[in-house]
Chain A
Amino acid sequence: MSRASTSQIILDAGQISQTIDQLAGEIADSLPAGVPTAVIGIRRRGEVLAGRLITALGRHGMNGIRHGSLDITLYRDDLAELGPQAVLRKTEIDFDINGMYIILVDDVLYTGRSARAAMDALVDLGRPKAIRLAVLVERPGRELPIQADFVGARVPRQDVPVTVLLTESDQIEEVRVG
């Protein structure tokens, strides 16, 4: 099946930017006072989104938020099935996450397995006060009891794949369905 003929752009660059700003607004309203906060992105596109969220949070008056990147390759439950494709990247969290309020960021929430792996990876690094999940796009098809706390856009259909492309990682900026 040719993807190009059936796929459809649901968010363009401007809409992605608006969506991130709206997510930042919701996150800013929810942040507990006096608790150190970090935005941690799941490699690789969650990492890009985390960086943009921190900038957007600054516009909402939230400064001093730490930025981290999490590689979940070693925590995936489908490592054996991934075969030789899995590429390990660095986890870069150069602060102590104990007691922190953590916003975990990914591009798409689908099965929930990446979020599960990310939570396992985080708790190996320490004991955060709370972990919240923020995603740019949510798609039905959960295989684990995991839901996002902050959702940018919802795709109602389960049977179509969602592709997030960001300038920093893909040289294009759009979200496609199908």
Chain B
Amino acid sequence: MSTNVADSQTSTPAAQSRPEPNATTAPADGLAPASDGFTWKRKHLLGLEDLSAEEIMHILHTAESFQEVSTRSIKKVPALRGRVVVNLFFEDSTRTRMSFTLAAQRLSADVLEFNTRVSSVSKGESLRDTVRNIEAMGVDTFIIRHPAGGAPEHITRCTDCHVINAGDGQHEHPTQGHIDIFTIRERNGRLEGLNVVIVGDIAHSRVARSNFWGLTRLGAKVTFVGPTTLVPRAFEQLGARVSHDLDAALKDADVVNMLRIQRERMTSQVFPSTEEYVRLFGLTRERMKKAKPDLLVMHPGPINRGVELASDVADGPQSSILRQVSNGLAIRMAVLFLLNQTSNGTG
């Protein structure tokens, strides 16, 4: 790793709150104050582990309002006009990056793309220097994906800008977590008491962690399923159920979230053969016969068809895969909007 990431062992609160705005900003023309009485204060979104149930729900409610914008013929609102959002991706990503870009554009923000392959990072610039140089151009928000867990939190200490974690190592992928929770709630109308089964390489999955923190906080029960080498028992200490038997776990499941199997791990020693994985942990129509008839099938994409998910299941009526992608836009608009309403250093 050429980039310099401070360890995130010290669990300082990630979010920084600002003092209450003074009373002179009282709404004119009768704009109603929030009846729910909740005030968003976080400047950054680093993960779901630190978020309260209220904060998660506030993002979901705000996203519901943004869904309408995407149904218009002019899919654009002026809320972030003049703000600059930077996509700072140190790991390959197509859909997350496109989704953030489109979300920012629908809010009328300008978007800068930072490509590590052609950047000075390949010349050995430190993460801190990269961020501070871009910040000096007058930007407001960094969206960062990085192979090292804790990199986004490290960036919050180098900049006055807002920081959104778009996936850091095996730590968290908070917008994906919100998307999945939003999609479940949209379909089931509630989260409390639901049984959510997450299947795959749990040990290395940031999506699994973000889902776990958020779902648990909102009262759902999470079961991690996969081979013993990829689903450590240690997760039980956090309050998750751990199982190595998908059929058993599916019996009382309301939702199954099939994580993508990383090809590079398929050849490693911790991984069974692909055939064995499909037989034990692949979701097929046959396997779903033993589950609830309204089981919701999710996948954060991109799918390995025929590995974790059979093609007819992925395209079937219980699949919410494309709905997750659509909801992703609303969630990312909500997050960009909420963070940018709090104090920003360059504004």
* Known interface pairs A82-B27, A83-B342; A75-B77 also in contact (CB < 8 Å): yes
Question: Does A109 have its Cβ within 8 Å of any Cβ on chain B?
Answer: yes
Beta-carbon contacts under 8 Å, B20-59 to A: 21, 25, 27-36, 38-41
Q: Which of A46, A75, A83, A111 contacts B341 (CB 8 A)?
A: A83
Q: Are A124 and B25 in touch, CB under 8 angstroms?
A: no
A116 to B, closest residue via Cβ:
B29
Report if A90-B32 is in contact (Cβ < 8 Å); known contacts: A81-B25, A84-B40, A84-B341: no
Interface of B, helix, strand, loop or mixed by DSSP: loop
Q: Does B118 count as interface, using CB distance less than 8 angstroms?
A: no
Given contacts A83-B341, A124-B76, contact A91 B35 (CB under 8 A): no
A104 and B66 alpha carbons, distance in the complex (Å): 22
Looking at the assembled complex, report how far the CB atom of A145 sits from the nearest CB atom of chain B, in whole angstroms: 15
Contact A114-B29, Cβ < 8 Å, known A84-B342, A88-B66? yes
Chain A, residue nearest B79 (CB) = A74
With a CB–CB cut-off of 8 A, which chain A residues contact B28?
110-111, 113-114
B residues near A88, Cβ cutoff 8 Å? 62, 65-66, 334, 337
Residue of B nearest to A136 (CB): B30
Categorize the interface residue count of chain B.
35 or more
A84-B41, A88-B62, A90-B64 are contacts. A108–B29 as well, Cβ < 8 Å?
A: yes
Known: A83-B342, A84-B18, A164-B30. 9 other contacts (CB 8 A): A74-B337, A75-B78, A75-B79, A78-B25, A85-B21, A91-B68, A110-B28, A125-B72, A169-B35
Q: What residue in chain B is nearest A77 (Cβ atoms)?
A: B78
**C-alpha gap A37/B77 in the complex (Å):** 25
Interface string of B60-75 (1 = CB under 8 A from A): 0010111011001110
Contact status A92-B29, CB under 8 Å: no
| Chain A contacts for B62, CB-based, 8 A | 87-88
Cα A46 to Cα B31 in complex, Å, equals 9
A110 touching B29, Cβ below 8 Å: yes
| Pair A90/B341 contact, Cβ less than 8 Å | no
B285 to chain A, nearest CB (A): 36
Which of B34, B74, B107 touches A124 (beta carbons < 8 Å)?
B74
Q: With A92-B68, A124-B74, A125-B72 in contact, do A83 and B30 touch (Cβ < 8 Å)?
A: no
Asked if B193 is an interface residue, CB under 8 A from chain A, the answer is no
Q: At the interface, yes or no: A120 with Cβ under 8 Å from chain B?
A: yes
Q: Does A21 contact B (CB under 8 A)?
A: no
* A44 CB-CB contact with B under 8 Å: yes
Q: Is A151 an interface residue (CB 8 A)?
A: no
Report if A113-B29 is in contact (Cβ < 8 Å); known contacts: A84-B39, A125-B74.
yes
* Alpha-carbon separation in the docked complex, A88 to B28 (Å): 16
**B239: interface (CB < 8 Å):** no
